[in-house]
Amino acid sequence: MVFVLALVATACSTDDGGATTTVAPTTTTTAAPAPKEIKTGRGVDAATKTIKLGLLADLTGLFAPLVIDITDAQKVYWDNVNAAGGVDGWTVELVIEDTNYNLEQHQEKYENLREQVVAISQSTGSPTNVATLPKYVEDDMLVLPLSWFSGWPFADFDSGVMIEQNTNYCLEAMNLVDFAQSMGGTTINVVGFPGDYGQDAAAGAKWAIDFYDGVELGYDGEAKVIPGQDYTEVIQGIATSGADWTILTTNPSIGATILAGAVQAGYAGRFTGSGPSYNFALLDSPAAGLYDARYYQSAYNVLWGDDTPGNNVMMAAMQAAYPDRRPSDSFIIGWNESIVMHEVIKGALAAFDLTPESFVAVSNSLADVDFGGSQPNQSWTGTPNDFVQRGLAMYEPDLAVYTAAGGAAQTLSQADATTGSVLVQDFFVGAAAAAYDFVGPCYEL
Amino acid sequence: MIAQAVSQSGVDKFVNALGSGVALGAIYALLALGFVIIFKATQVVNFAHGAIAALGAYLVSYFAVTINIPGRWMTFAPDWLQWSLSALVAVLLTAVVGMIVERITIRPMIGEPLFAIAMITLGLDLIIRTTTNDLLDNTNAGLGDPFGLEVLTFGALRLDAAQIATIGVTIVVVLLLMWFFRTRTGVAVRATAFDQEAAMAQGISVGKVFAIAWGIGAALAALGGIFSSVGSRGAAGVSPFTALIAFRAFPAIIIGGLDSIAGAVAGGMIVGVLEVMAGTYLGGISWLGTGFSGIVPWLVMMAVLLVKPYGLFGTEEIRRV
């Protein structure tokens, strides 16, 4: 009941010339059904008024900690929408496949989905999605990738079937450089994985380092972090660089090894990193003190506990669904993915066309989707240079805040539950990211 | 804030790389010892070794952090003692898991092709690794260890407490193994390793020897997993990546000789030092490409095998998978 009241209180949907402002699921989003018959296709059952969305989710692989929470947030979102009457009377059903972040499994699981869903509301990974892209195009399958690769906004790369969300790795890294230089940084190390994630970010960071006067590249550790190998080379590179900032594009556990090793080797500078480089579980590790003292977290969305209308609705719903679970900064990602797909469905219903082709067309015309302050509004119309997301927020892990709230023992039912990070700079677009002419992927796959 | 570049003299740099390499080599030696003991006694190439190592590290996190056993009953004891006892419980439990795995999946395969048994251990690797990752919620977990990240200085040498503990525990383990192989049970293990049929004819329970070997092997794997999940090398604690360290120890096993206890220690040290030295001195050579330090141990392994196909200390009658 609380959730329903929250929906009524916070939801506002106005289809005014393409602008869409929905912050939460609602049952009052469209005008009364027209007598006109709705065209349907794959994944849509007109008899039962059911729309099936797929998820190709890494529930057991490298990114499982992130994706499990994202997936569960989507489940809760649609459960609540359906319980409140669905989208204009249509029930949304999720079909979830675990890909294990494995390329072969991703493609196999897509085969399971391709005949039964109208679109995919979350698909984990860049290499996995790139490899399966020809099939998506062949099927007119709209896919929302859990991947912040800078190539997704370009129709000549993805034929318009991918609807990316948030700021990509490249522009994010530009903002990280902006943040570092605003904190007095003059020499910045760039360190990360090989491939689209690490090298997309490295391309953005290096471009921004060139952009700002008085800022120079320190140790160039682009593509030098090979998961599973010894990191002495990178640690030595950072420690001997003399740089005052290091940008990491790794995963949390490898990032912690590098951060701790570099500090032990005498590095005196500070760290920041691409969003997936940090996980608040690091505040339960021996490196917690170092993260508290040296690290700044990048975020595409607000974090658990932040007071925004969109986040508050999400938190109330997640608390009701999983009162005994740990808080997570990933829930809001899944929630916002669902908001995007909700807007697509509403657009398709407004066009009386629930076919896959209609979903793709609507996705490329969404404008100014409102997430209730939990991330900047986002559009997908015009050229990528016009609509690409460029901003992010910066947080600082605070061990005292995390510990005071109960640390790892916290549950969602706890009013003051927190993932331990404190806002340092609200959503901003740095000068480099604002000036960047986004006419192609920063890193070519 | 302007950071200062760390400047080290050539000697300091070498000494620190050597120290760090020996500490890494000690982890490899623990892993290699466990692997070799299982192979020596049972002729089984255990591809699940890394998964067992990660399970051992996870169990330390579980006992020391999650349920605080036995610390909750001995709050009067210092933290390091409470943690050490939790680690001991975890290592013993991992040994029991090793013995159960052997009894259920390996012993029924006695006499069957070694390739089939190796495939079973590959399956075990996947099962144990996935289970451990599930228990970890696929994220990282601190071990609650008392080592911290503070660096201790001994002249030019800088090591953290975890590295010192790793080297110390490895020395103790080697001494214990030397003692063990002189006991009655140890002699039975050696006899079984030498000739199973002759050992059985002498009244030795080969099944019991297999169980002991898997128990010791799993316990050593757990120690390797624990020490790779503490200090700066394991700053985030145990994670889904922990199991991968066993694959990095493979060159150590092969260089030393698949059936040699001394070789496992020597191989571990050689690989650890080589890896760190390569990372320290070859990282700036761009034409070598990315990740060259990870290749160096494998290059050395190939070079050793070309000269001594059974490793530095291996015996020639070994069958290889």
Q: Of A301, A313, A320, A315, whose CA–CA distance to A423 is shortest?
A: A301
Q: Which amino acid is at A181?
A: Q
pLDDT of B9 higher than 80: no
Q: Nearest CA of chain A to the CA of B250: how many Å?
A: 13
Q: Which helix (H) or strand (E) holds B210?
A: helix B206-227
Give the CA distances from residue B91 to residues A269, B121, B124, B238, in Å, rounded to whole numbers and listed in that order: 38, 20, 19, 15
Q: How many angstroms separate the CA atoms of B250 and B307, rounded? A: 18
Q: Nearest CA of chain A to the CA of B124: how many Å?
A: 17
Which residues fall within 8 angstroms of residue B183, CB to CB, at 6 or more apart?
Answer: none
| Contact pairs from chain A to chain B, CB under 8 Å | 159
Q: Nearest CA of chain A to the CA of B155: how many Å?
A: 15
Which residues on A lie below 8 Å from B236 (Cβ)?
252-253, 255-257, 281-282, 285, 287
| A146 occurs within a structural domain | yes
φ, ψ of residue A172 to 5 degrees: the values are -60, -45
Which residues on B lie below 8 Å from A240 (Cβ)?
5-7
Pull the structure tokens for residue A40.
Answer: 């349907």
User: Where in the sequence is the domain holding A286, given as residue range(s)?
Assistant: 169-299+392-435
Poorest-pLDDT segment among A57-61, A90-94, B214-218: A57-61
Interface contact flag, B139 A62, Cβ < 8 Å: no
Q: Nearest CA of chain A to the CA of B260: how many Å?
A: 25
pLDDT of A10 higher than 90: no
Residue B5 pLDDT level (bands cut at 50, 70, 90): low
| A383 occurs within a structural domain | no
- Picking from A64, A232, A266, the nearest residue to B138 by CB comes out as A64
Q: Are residues A227 and A329 in the same domain?
A: no
Q: Nearest CA of chain A to the CA of B230: how many Å?
A: 8
pLDDT of A8 higher than 70: no
pLDDT of B35 higher than 70: yes
What value does the mean pLDDT take over residues A173-195?
Answer: 97
> What is the model's pLDDT at position A24?
47
Q: Are residues A417 and A428 in the same domain?
A: yes
Q: Is A369 exposed, middle or buried (0-12, 13-18, 19+ CB in 10 A)?
A: buried
**From the candidates B132, B138, B285, which should be mutated to test the interface with A, based on the most A CB atoms within 10 A?**
B138
Chain segment B219-274, per-residue pLDDT in tens:
999 999 999 999 999 999 998 889 989 888 999 999 999 888 999 999 999 999 99
Q: Are residues A221 and A316 in the same domain?
A: no
Pull the structure tokens for residue B165.
Answer: 């503990």
Residue B30 pLDDT level (bands cut at 50, 70, 90): very high
pLDDT of A14 higher than 80: no
Interface contact flag, A253 B241, Cβ < 8 Å: yes
> What is the model's pLDDT at position A261?
95
> What is the model's pLDDT at position B10?
81
φ, ψ of residue A431 to 5 degrees: the values are -60, -40
Query: In what side-by-side order are the strands of the sheet with A245-249?
Result: A216-221, A187-192, A245-249, A270-273, A295-299, A392-397, A421-428
Q: Are residues A83 and A56 in the same domain?
A: yes
Q: Are A76 and A336 in contact (CB under 8 A)?
A: no
| A365 occurs within a structural domain | yes
Q: How many angstroms separate the CA atoms of B46 and B39, rounded? A: 7
Pairing of the two strands A295-299 and A270-273: parallel
Pull the structure tokens for residue A229.
Answer: 């190998």
Overall domain count for chain A = 2
Interface contact flag, B235 A186, Cβ < 8 Å: no
> What is the model's pLDDT at position B123?
96
> What is the model's pLDDT at position B111?
80
Q: Are residues A12 and A96 in the same domain?
A: yes
Chain B residue at shortest CA distance from A193: B290
What CATH number is attached to the domain comprising A107? Answer: 3.40.50.2300
Q: Are residues A7 and A124 in the same domain?
A: yes
Pull the structure tokens for residue B11.
Answer: 């000697």
Interface contact flag, A279 B140, Cβ < 8 Å: yes
> What is the model's pLDDT at position A354?
98
Which residues on B lie below 8 Å from A187 (Cβ)?
3
| A227 occurs within a structural domain | yes
Which residues on A lie below 8 Å from B130 (Cβ)?
60
Chain segment B100-138, per-residue pLDDT in tens:
999 999 999 888 888 899 999 999 999 999 999 989 888
Tracing tokens 């790794």 back to the chain, one arrives at A250
What value does the mean pLDDT take over residues B25-34?
Answer: 96
The sign of the dihedral angle between the CA atoms of A257, A260, A263, A269 is positive
- Picking from B1, B275, B280, the nearest residue to A236 by CB comes out as B280
ipTM tops 0.90: no
Task: Go through B246-283 and write b for each residue having 16 or more CB atoms within 10 A of its CB, e for each that does not.
Answer: bebbbbbbbbbbbbbbebbbbbbbbbbbbbbbbbbbeb
Q: Nearest CA of chain A to the CA of B11: how many Å?
A: 15
Q: Of A159, A96, A87, A140, whose CA–CA distance to A122 is shortest?
A: A96
Poorest-pLDDT segment among A5-9, A211-215, B35-39, B203-207: A5-9
> What is the model's pLDDT at position B68?
92
Q: Are residues A95 and A196 in the same domain?
A: no
Q: Are residues A24 and A163 in the same domain?
A: yes
CA-only gyration radius of chain B, Å: 20
Residue count of chain B: 321
Q: Are residues A178 and A248 in the same domain?
A: yes
> What is the model's pLDDT at position A12?
38
Pairing of the two strands A245-249 and A270-273: parallel
Average predicted confidence (pLDDT) for chain B? 90
**From the candidates A59, A187, A220, A253, which should be mutated to test the interface with B, based on the most B CB atoms within 10 A?**
A253
pLDDT of A52 higher than 50: yes
Poorest-pLDDT segment among A36-50, A377-391, B305-319: B305-319
- Higher-confidence residue of A22 and A179: namely A179
Q: How many angstroms separate the CA atoms of A418 and A249, rounded? A: 24
| A386 occurs within a structural domain | no
> What is the model's pLDDT at position A5?
38
> What is the model's pLDDT at position B289?
77
| A162 occurs within a structural domain | yes
Q: Which helix (H) or strand (E) holds B287?
A: none
Which residues on B lie below 8 Å from A235 (Cβ)?
279
Q: Are residues A163 and A173 in the same domain?
A: no
φ, ψ of residue A97 to 5 degrees: the values are -120, 135
> What is the model's pLDDT at position B6?
56
| A277 occurs within a structural domain | yes
Q: Are residues A424 and A282 in the same domain?
A: yes
Displacement of CA A96 from its chain's centroid (Å): 18
**From the candidates A101, A181, A236, which should be mutated to test the interface with B, based on the most B CB atoms within 10 A?**
A236
Q: Are residues A286 and A339 in the same domain?
A: no
Q: How many angstroms separate the CA atoms of B247 and B269, rounded? A: 15
> What is the model's pLDDT at position A355?
98
| A444 occurs within a structural domain | no
- Picking from B231, B241, B276, the nearest residue to A254 by CB comes out as B241
pLDDT of A21 higher than 80: no
* Angle ∠(B251,B172,B12) on CA atoms, nearest 5: 65
- Give, as one character, the DSSP assignment of residue B74: -
- Picking from B244, B282, B284, the nearest residue to A228 by CB comes out as B244
Poorest-pLDDT segment among A284-298, A315-329, B2-16, B229-243: B2-16
- Picking from A184, A223, A281, the nearest residue to B1 by CB comes out as A184
pLDDT of A20 higher than 50: no
